Structure 1
Amino acid sequence: MTDPEFPWLSVIGAVPLVGSVAVASVPRGRELLAKQLAVGVSLVVLALVVALGVQFDTDEAGAFQFTEYHKWVPEFGVSYALGVDGIALVLLALVALLTPVCLLASWNDITEAPGARRVQTFFALMLAVEGILVGVFAATDVFLFYVLFEAVLIPMYFIIGGFGGAQRSYAAVKFLIYSLLGGLLMLASVIGLYVAGPGGETGFLRSTLEGASIDPTTQRWLFLGFFIAFAIKAPLWPLHTWLPDAASEAPPGGAVMLVGVLDKIGTFGMIAYCLPLFPDASVWARPVVVVLCVVGVIYGALVAIGQADLMRLIAYTSVSHFGFIALGIFAMTSQGQAGSTLYMLSHGFSTAALFLLAGMLAARRGSRRIADFGGVQRVAPVLAGLFLMAGLSSLALPGFSSFVSEFLVLAGTYGRYTVAAIVATLGIVLAALYILIVYQRVMTGPVAKAVEGFRDLRPRELWSVAPVIALLLALGVAPQLALDVINPAVDRTLQSVNQGDPQPDVPATAEQGSGR
């Protein structure tokens, strides 16, 4: 698609970054203004993304649209290049939808301290995360993608380390070390990719590198650098250990931005970069990756069942969910990859609802321990009801979009890796256990003494969670709204790795019968 007259993607990324500076500049004592300004900016971004989506041509969803190209450092082949296909558009929508939700839910979570401007800083950092994420999902230059991939660590590090729980410093440093280690491996592969590729002024463009002739051994080493970085970011077992600490110590709104949106960079990178840039290496590594995914599905679910901390339980469920997402990607079937992309969207919404509602519970009780609750549904029925709906979405109950996405992932995997699909299906059974057990312990039974004074959701809290639940139901009933955008991009990815859907085995008797 030709360059648009209006630089939509640059504007969508710039608005939250400029808004971040504006919010950070609000003087002390005007905290309410800072909050209102931040929410207003996020709603402007949402409106711009909706306008972008309306103009998006679904018939050409496999190609990059709204492209922008400017030379940045031509001597090293670096360009400022943006564009979105169907997969990137879906993730842009996820960012734009969840940011105002997180800001509304965090309205009273940040308290002021003498001589500090904590409210302004927190809301400014959240907008900065949004702006950088827009660039990550829209970048079509590999070096630009890498720069933004690393840049998003900075505001998220300060969100965790500055506004989290008692172990926030440890969690923030662990998050940073893991991410930087993956980033260094990726940087080495980025440089190697330019050297091994065609080079020139457009040497880092995805369009230049896709289909480039690279020695198989070199391609495998480069693939590993990218894949490990993405596996850490996702996170994929066994590189997941930073996630429970970071997600449980971050403030609820920050946890949603981390697990619901930022971690999608990892799975997005697998489908948008690993497969098209290193097709032969991706097929070579596929069996091992599939095994890691299945282990992650079962491991995350089993560990979640044994958690005593509500936030850590939700974090471990995400380890299991990311196993499903990566499994669909590396099954390399149209159903699997379409399901994985829809799963990214569904997981973002369901995890957002769970983290935000768990944060509201913890704020009312002053504790995150599951044992400290009981009988909440008697004193806060709306809160309990929405928590149940978010949990049912997480366990992929029919009627929610997560059911459609999980079904597509398993169906797409079954055609190529039957045993892996069967074992991964156990994750659904385990998901029912960890969700229903925690609901039973927290929401049902006699009312715990410390819960007696609970008040139900305030209108602001309801407005921050109800739209997310509504979207899960809407996409569960009409998943084609998203799949029509996703499928063409998935087809293009499969073509880049020269993979198609496996043909079903036809019994010999059926063949003979058809020939009579």
Structure 2
Amino acid sequence: MFQLSYLLLILALIIIASAAVRGKAARYLTILFSAIVFIFVVTNNMTMTNFYYGTLSILTLSFQLNFVSSILLILISFIGIFIPLRYSSSPGFFVLLQFLLFSLVGIFTTRDFILFYIFWEMVLIPSFFVIGIWGGKSKNYAAMKFFIYTHVGSVFMLLGIFTMYFTEGASNFSMATLISGIGSVPMAYQSFVIFGFLFAFLIKLPTIPLHSWLPDAYVEAPSEGTVFISSLLSKMGAFGLLVIFSPIYMASSFAGSTAVPIALIVLGIFSLSYSALVALYQKDMKRMMSYTSIGHMSFITIAVGGFLYLNGANPLASQLLYYGAVFQLISHGIIIAMIFALVDTLEKAAGTRQIPSLGGLARKLPVLSFLILAAFLASVAIPGFSGFVGEISILLGSYAVLKYYLIFVLVGVVLTASYHVFALQRTIFGPYNEFLGNITARKQDLLVALFPLAIIFILGIYPALVFHIFNIHVIQFLGGIH
């Protein structure tokens, strides 16, 4: 067994080494960093594994590799390899990227609330500096907006943690201890805890109307920054909902109440449709795809609300919802990373990413156009791509809750497909815009894009690769919260 303590130590040493070297070494060390994370997951057989290293005062040095964290660590590995292969950024960027990946490993594995909060806040540092240093014209505004939004959410989460600790009279901040005791405290405190965690996670996801930091951060960040922010940071909110908030809610006195689950479902449906409508009117392809990310993650909000509403009453529907949410995590991360990388390739080739200034790119850039078409088909969840598996699982599971109200989700799905088709018609199809001149795309960028495309396709035609591995763990988790 590859001990987590060894993993964190090795990763920390790689970060220090990357900060000390020059040239391309930091780039290659990022690939090594990511490969080691992948090896850690594989050598632990991607099974439920606990790591306990004692206590340090009120801190519990307890970590866990579960089915959701395994999926997310694999996603971290993919993004950590994809970005260095695709981008030749400065050494400073790769040091910040490694620091962010290290923080995410901590978030997805720790079982102590204070350590969870520390790792959660650590993510803000590299994200803020990547946007603020290498971003666009409004980088300072976007960086500060991102920092303020997400930090406010973090404060409410911290207050929720302390509320559990003091009202329960606990001796440490162990997640297992505090979550199991939440039902014994007064209802007013339980309500605040539930609100604090939910508020923090919905900001990071994000869910409308807590989303306004996202379009600015995605657009102003450099392309490589947009790739990791879009593919990884939103997973913090999703992980929080699935692994932290859901057990808290089910252990509280509100378990069985439908108010919060229905609110989550409504927020998810609203986010899906609203983001699609706003995206439909965007001229900047990068900004348009930022709303795509909101739409994709809204399915996870719907799924969490759905299985909390069912409360174990329909095991098959609950499993479909949880399967779909977990699958959506890795599917969205890979698809959105590929899309933003392709938008960057397009902008460098054509000199613009403004949709009205493009047109007929398939005539001059057939390979890039094919890749964009494939990425968009995956984004709208066409069968054969990974996006279809997660979304259809959530839709099928949601029927047990929504019945005929499922039509409102389908409206959002249709709107999402509409703006994707609209963008394709005005960029890669139609008459060529002669003002663009004779344009070409870098072959290296096109070759690297085949890496995520292959994974998207493999997961789309053989989803059992994920479902099979995590079947027993999903059943155990749902049985536990029931």
What is the TM-score with the length of structure 2 in the denominator?
0.92
Separation in 2 of the partners of 1:474 and 1:484?
14
Give the CA deviation at 1:435: 1.2
Separation in 2 of the partners of 1:14 and 1:363?
39
Separation in 1 of the partners of 2:400 and 2:469?
23
Q: Within 5 Å, which residues of 2 pair with 1:325-336?
A: 325-332=300-307, 333-336=318-321
Q: Structure 1 residues 299-308 or 203-212, which shifts more?
A: 203-212
Separation in 2 of the partners of 1:361 and 1:196?
55
State whether structure 2 residue 352 is matched by structure 1 residue 390. no
Structure 1 counterpart of 2:124, which letter? L
| Distance of aligned partners of 1:458 and 1:205 in 2 relative to their CA distance in 1, 3 Å threshold | same
Q: Secondary structure at the match of 2:180?
A: coil
Separation in 1 of the partners of 2:98 and 2:184?
39
Separation in 2 of the partners of 1:263 and 1:175?
13
| Distance of aligned partners of 1:492 and 1:382 in 2 relative to their CA distance in 1, 3 Å threshold | same
Show the counterpart of 1:349. Answer: 334
Please say if residues 168 and 178 of structure 2, whose CA atoms lie closer than 8 Å, have aligned partners that are also in contact. Answer: yes
Separation in 2 of the partners of 1:344 and 1:46?
20
State whether structure 2 residue 436 is matched by structure 1 residue 451. yes
What is the percentage of aligned positions where both structures have the same residue? 31
Match of 2:27 among 30, 38, 41: 38
Match of 2:44 among 30, 50, 55: 55
Q: Secondary structure at the match of 1:454?
A: coil
State whether structure 2 residue 419 is matched by structure 1 residue 434. yes
Show the counterpart of 1:401. Answer: 386
- What CA deviation, in whole Å up to 9, does each residue of 1:318-347 have, x standing for no partner? 111111111112211211111011001100
Show the counterpart of 1:116. Answer: none
User: Aligned pair count?
Assistant: 466
Separation in 1 of the partners of 2:255 and 2:328?
21
| Distance of aligned partners of 1:356 and 1:299 in 2 relative to their CA distance in 1, 3 Å threshold | same
Q: Secondary structure at the match of 1:79?
A: strand
Q: Structure 1 residues 418-427 or 430-439, which shifts more?
A: 418-427
Separation in 2 of the partners of 1:305 and 1:13?
43
Separation in 1 of the partners of 2:323 and 2:457?
18
| Distance of aligned partners of 1:377 and 1:132 in 2 relative to their CA distance in 1, 3 Å threshold | same
Q: Within 5 Å, which residues of 2 pair with 1:79-94?
A: 79-94=60-75
| Distance of aligned partners of 1:12 and 1:451 in 2 relative to their CA distance in 1, 3 Å threshold | farther
| Distance of aligned partners of 1:273 and 1:21 in 2 relative to their CA distance in 1, 3 Å threshold | same
| Distance of aligned partners of 1:150 and 1:441 in 2 relative to their CA distance in 1, 3 Å threshold | same
Match of 2:105 among 128, 131, 134: 134
Give the CA deviation at 1:15: 3.9
Show the counterpart of 2:345. Answer: 360
Structure 2 counterpart of 1:350, which letter? I
| Distance of aligned partners of 1:361 and 1:65 in 2 relative to their CA distance in 1, 3 Å threshold | same
Please say if residues 396 and 428 of structure 1, whose CA atoms lie closer than 8 Å, have aligned partners that are also in contact. Answer: no
Give the CA deviation at 1:462: 2.9
Match of 1:297 among 265, 272, 275: 272
Give the CA deviation at 1:427: 2.0
Show the counterpart of 1:482. Answer: 466
Show the counterpart of 1:105. Answer: 86
Give the CA deviation at 1:479: 0.8
Give the CA deviation at 1:14: 4.1
Separation in 1 of the partners of 2:275 and 2:379?
13
Separation in 1 of the partners of 2:414 and 2:98?
38
Show the counterpart of 1:208. Answer: 177
Match of 1:286 among 217, 241, 261: 261
Structure 1 counterpart of 2:80, which letter? T
Please say if residues 82 and 138 of structure 1, whose CA atoms lie closer than 8 Å, have aligned partners that are also in contact. Answer: yes
Structure 2 counterpart of 1:456, which letter? A
State whether structure 2 residue 15 is matched by structure 1 residue 20. yes
| Distance of aligned partners of 1:127 and 1:53 in 2 relative to their CA distance in 1, 3 Å threshold | same
| Distance of aligned partners of 1:282 and 1:322 in 2 relative to their CA distance in 1, 3 Å threshold | farther
Show the counterpart of 1:188. Answer: 159
Higher Rg of the two aligned structures: 1
Give the CA deviation at 1:432: 1.5
| Distance of aligned partners of 1:373 and 1:206 in 2 relative to their CA distance in 1, 3 Å threshold | same
Please say if residues 223 and 282 of structure 1, whose CA atoms lie closer than 8 Å, have aligned partners that are also in contact. Answer: no
Give the CA deviation at 1:211: 2.7
Give the CA deviation at 1:47: 4.4
Please say if residues 374 and 451 of structure 1, whose CA atoms lie closer than 8 Å, have aligned partners that are also in contact. Answer: no
Please say if residues 179 and 233 of structure 1, whose CA atoms lie closer than 8 Å, have aligned partners that are also in contact. Answer: yes
- What CA deviation, in whole Å up to 9, does each residue of 1:214-241 have, x standing for no partner? 3343222101100100000010111011
Separation in 2 of the partners of 1:419 and 1:39?
52
Q: Secondary structure at the match of 1:184?
A: helix
Please say if residues 365 and 451 of structure 1, whose CA atoms lie closer than 8 Å, have aligned partners that are also in contact. Answer: yes
Show the counterpart of 2:315. Answer: none
Structure 2 counterpart of 1:205, which letter? S
Please say if residues 272 and 493 of structure 1, whose CA atoms lie closer than 8 Å, have aligned partners that are also in contact. Answer: no
Please say if residues 37 and 74 of structure 2, whose CA atoms lie closer than 8 Å, have aligned partners that are also in contact. Answer: no
Q: Secondary structure at the match of 2:55?
A: strand
Please say if residues 227 and 337 of structure 2, whose CA atoms lie closer than 8 Å, have aligned partners that are also in contact. Answer: yes
Separation in 1 of the partners of 2:163 and 2:478?
24
- What CA deviation, in whole Å up to 9, does each residue of 1:185-220 have, x standing for no partner? 0110011111233612xx322222343243343222
Show the counterpart of 1:370. Answer: 355
State whether structure 2 residue 406 is matched by structure 1 residue 414. no
Structure 2: which 5+ residue stretches go unaligned?
A: 308-317
Structure 1: which 5+ residue stretches go unaligned?
A: 111-118, 499-516
Separation in 2 of the partners of 1:189 and 1:125?
29
Q: Structure 1 residues 142-151 or 43-52, which shifts more?
A: 43-52
Separation in 2 of the partners of 1:195 and 1:484?
41
Separation in 1 of the partners of 2:475 and 2:110?
20
Please say if residues 274 and 282 of structure 1, whose CA atoms lie closer than 8 Å, have aligned partners that are also in contact. Answer: no
Show the counterpart of 1:311. Answer: 286
Separation in 1 of the partners of 2:235 and 2:119?
14
- What CA deviation, in whole Å up to 9, does each residue of 1:481-506 have, x standing for no partner? 111233333333333432xxxxxxxx
- What CA deviation, in whole Å up to 9, does each residue of 1:366-403 have, x standing for no partner? 32211121221111111111111110000000001110
What is the TM-score with the length of structure 1 in the denominator?
0.86
Q: Secondary structure at the match of 1:263?
A: helix
| Distance of aligned partners of 1:450 and 1:99 in 2 relative to their CA distance in 1, 3 Å threshold | farther
| Distance of aligned partners of 1:294 and 1:448 in 2 relative to their CA distance in 1, 3 Å threshold | same
State whether structure 2 residue 177 is matched by structure 1 residue 177. no
Please say if residues 255 and 355 of structure 1, whose CA atoms lie closer than 8 Å, have aligned partners that are also in contact. Answer: yes
Give the aligned CA root-mean-square deviation in angstroms.
1.9
Higher relative contact order (CA 8 A, sep 6+): 1
State whether structure 2 residue 233 is matched by structure 1 residue 248. no
State whether structure 2 residue 52 is matched by structure 1 residue 68. yes
Separation in 1 of the partners of 2:30 and 2:10?
7
